[in-house]
Amino acid sequence: MTSPHTDHEPQARPQGAPHDRTYDQSPGSAYDHPHEQLHGHSHGHGPAAPGSRQLRKVIAAVLIPFATAVVVGLVALWPGGAPPHERTGIGFDRQTQQGKVVTVDKVNCKDVNAVQTPLGDDPPSAGEERGPCERATIEVTTGRDKGRTFTEILQPDSPRKLREGQGVVAAYAPDAPHDLQYSVTDVNRKFPMALLAGIFALTVVAVGRMRGVMALIALAVSFAVLTLFILPAILQGSNPLLVAVVGASAIMLIALYMCHGPTARTSVAVVGTLVSLLLIGLLGSLFIGWASLSGNTDDNTGLIHGLYPHIDLSGLLLAGVIIGSLGVLDDVTVTQTSAVWELHQANPTLGVRGLYRAGIRIGRDHIASVVNTLVLAYAGAALPLLLLFSVAQSSMGTVANSELVAEEIVRTLVGSIGLVASVPVTTALAALVVSADRAATGAEAGASAPSWAGAGKGRRRRTKP
């Protein structure tokens, strides 16, 4: 049987092909592999998704057991709420009510028996004055004593200043004498904080649109996991490291897939983040123990230890390192994965090695900025402490050896090592997945090629009339 097309007969234009193009139907031409011919366009829009069945199976084989283990860990460690305890009346463990400043009057400090003793100075000599004191009348606005008033004396050198109409937080000590049961511990900042949060949310939505909305939802879920699972589970006595790993993994899975969708790109970022978190956990456990860091370095950790002696504070320190590194890790892994995908879309001919080399060049710039960000963030948080060491004229060795600073150094360096390692790990994984996706998708496309692909032998052209 002879072919319906001969060397002298022009082959009909494939269905859906443009009218203004010359078609080469010879073996090895573009139409022998339609996927390769249309590859640059088909991947030019929208998020990248696994294009091959084999790739989807590999990703599922890795992530489904991991997600299952996270769910099992959540169920096994779920605390069911923080354990009850009797308030000590110390620090954050005091009962508080809301109040409002009714009046603020200038008074003589001697008349109210206020001793003006600035920090580090001797009491003022007789006749020495540093200015008038302030007597604020506070009205309790919540609780069973609503409407009750009390007075607060502010010295001239007091760092807190009160004004009429200002909201305050009043500590309540039921065992104290009646006139001393209430005292101002802080000002009420709820409105400016809520306003700032609203501006933040509007900015995220205005710029990110639907992605911004999903990012805000993921943020709310992250806080829910933190407050409903991580904190109560640690208070119940569960291992802080195990709780942090399970909680951080849950946050990672929910946030990444919610913000970026269930794609191969997101899955690679999840695997890269997981590998980096494991590295941070191992290094943190090793060096926190080696450096003999107890985790009990300030009033807050001391209060926690007093209320819940069973909590392992060094484990709590390690849990903080893992959770604190997670947010920056997500940024690095998602960025590196997206960079490799975009490089592949721009040049589909790049292989694994070419994609890795191009992606790692981008990653080196990211490493420099992220490490600097971490160091400055921790230095900013410890700035008052560093100022005290500077005033004491301590040497750098003495400062670094103190437990307060050593904790921040270990936290910064361990987190930075994990972040730096995440760049080559995630870039290599992304390059391998993209290349495997291309090869597998191309094979599938070739197997299901239409009947007109490579139907004849020789060159058949149809030119635009």
Rg (CA), the chain: 32
Q: Which two tokens stand for residue 58?
A: 């590999």
| CB neighbours of residue 398 within 10 Å | 12
The dihedral of CA 9, 12, 18, 23: what is its sign? negative
The per-residue pLDDT for range 375-422, each reduced to its tens digit, is 777 677 677 777 777 776 667 777 777 777 788 788 888 888 888 899
Stretch 7-11: mean pLDDT: 43
Stretch 267-291: mean pLDDT: 89
CB-based contact 314:241 (threshold 8 Å): no
Distance (Å, whole) CA 407 – CA 293:
7
The per-residue pLDDT for range 101-136, each reduced to its tens digit, is 988 888 887 777 655 444 334 444 444 455 688 888
46-55 burial, b for 16+ CB within 10 Å, e for fewer?
eebebbbeeb
User: For a pLDDT cut of 90, what percent of the chain falls above it?
Assistant: 9
**pLDDT-based confidence at residue 174 (cuts at 50, 70, 90):** confident
Stretch 190-215: mean pLDDT: 92
The per-residue pLDDT for range 32-50, each reduced to its tens digit, is 443 333 343 333 334 444 4
Looking at mean pLDDT, say which of 190-199, 345-354, 398-407 comes out highest: 190-199
Give the pLDDT of residue 89: 59
Give the pLDDT of residue 18: 44
3-state secondary structure at position 98: strand
Give the pLDDT of residue 204: 93
Give the pLDDT of residue 368: 77
Render 138-158 in DSSP notation, one character per residue.
EEE-SSTTTT-EEEEEE-TT-
Stretch 262-266: mean pLDDT: 82
Distance (Å, whole) CA 240 – CA 237:
8
Give the pLDDT of residue 114: 55
Looking at mean pLDDT, say which of 59-68, 125-134, 170-179, 418-427 comes out highest: 418-427
CB-based contact 269:426 (threshold 8 Å): yes
